Structure formats: structure tokens, C-alpha cells
Amino acid sequence: MALPSKVPHLMTLADLSAPQITNILHHSLVLKRRCEPWLQPMIAGTKRKDLRMPTPTLFGKSIALLFSKRSTRTRLSAETSAQLLGGSALFLGRDDIQLGVNESVRDSARVIGGMCQGIFARVGDHEDIEVCLDFILFFFPWLEPHLILF
């Protein structure tokens, strides 16, 4: 079952219906099965035959990875997924950006929304991210909503 072309911003699973969650999980499984062979180590002298790359749905797109909580597994999976789908992931950790500290959330939102086509956030508290998202969508309403994940 294909996902609709416009899906909501994913802030929490509570925002989705049971069929939407089922569709996302099914689509994720299809992508995982298609990508798994590409993630396996190559043995010298062997060729990968009959392997299909996933559709490069993120081709030419930059995805901001906002991390306030460090997580090796989450960072690696987000960066690898963006690359396998043809995009570029930009890791923005707590020490890399000044979200709400030296720069206002509004200024950070303008910069992120103006240079990135999607956001993936790993946060403890959603409050700053929700404010940031509100500013981004105000200044950049054309930002693809299905690329904003929290």
C-alpha cells in the first residue's frame, strides 16, 4: 500500500490513525528489505547483481538532523537513510547550533528552513522544536511537510 503524497508532520504517533501507522510501518519494511543488501559488507571480487536501489526520493535535498539528545544508532540510521534515498544529512547537535541560546529560535528557524528541505529531530523536550517548526512553516510554507520528522 503506497503512502499518500502528503502526510502530516510527525510529532508523535498519537497524531496518526492506526491505518496511517500501519502504512508507515509497511513502507518502512519495504525500504529496509530493499536497502539491506546495500548495507552488507562487500567481499573483494564479488559483484552485486540484480539489486535495486530505493527510489531517490530525497535526491538533491538537505535534511537537518537536530539532536539535543545524543544517540549513535539514531544518528547513523538517519544519515544512512538520507544517503540511500539520495539526500544529504546535516548533523546539528546541541554544541553545533545555538537554538534559543545565542540565536533566537526564530533566527535558527529562518536559517534551517531556508537551506534545508526537511528536518529530523531527536529531542527530549518538544517545546523548542515545536516553536522552531511554527516559525519554519510561517516563513517557508512550501517546505515539504512529509520531510519534517520528530
Q: In what order do the strands lie in the sheet with 62-67?
A: 88-93, 62-67, 118-122, 148-149
SS (H, E, C) 27-58: HHHHHHHHHHHHHCCCCCCCCCCCCCCCCCCC
What's the whole-number average pLDDT of the chain?
Answer: 76
Tens digits of per-residue pLDDT, 115-128? 888 888 777 666 65
pLDDT of residue 116: 87
Query: What predicted TM-score, i.e. pTM, was given to this entire model?
Result: 0.69
pLDDT tens-digit series, residues 59-115: 999 998 888 778 899 899 889 989 988 999 999 887 777 666 777 777 777 788 788
Please, what are the domains in the chain? Answer: 62-149 (3.40.50.1370)
Query: pLDDT at position 13, please?
Result: 73
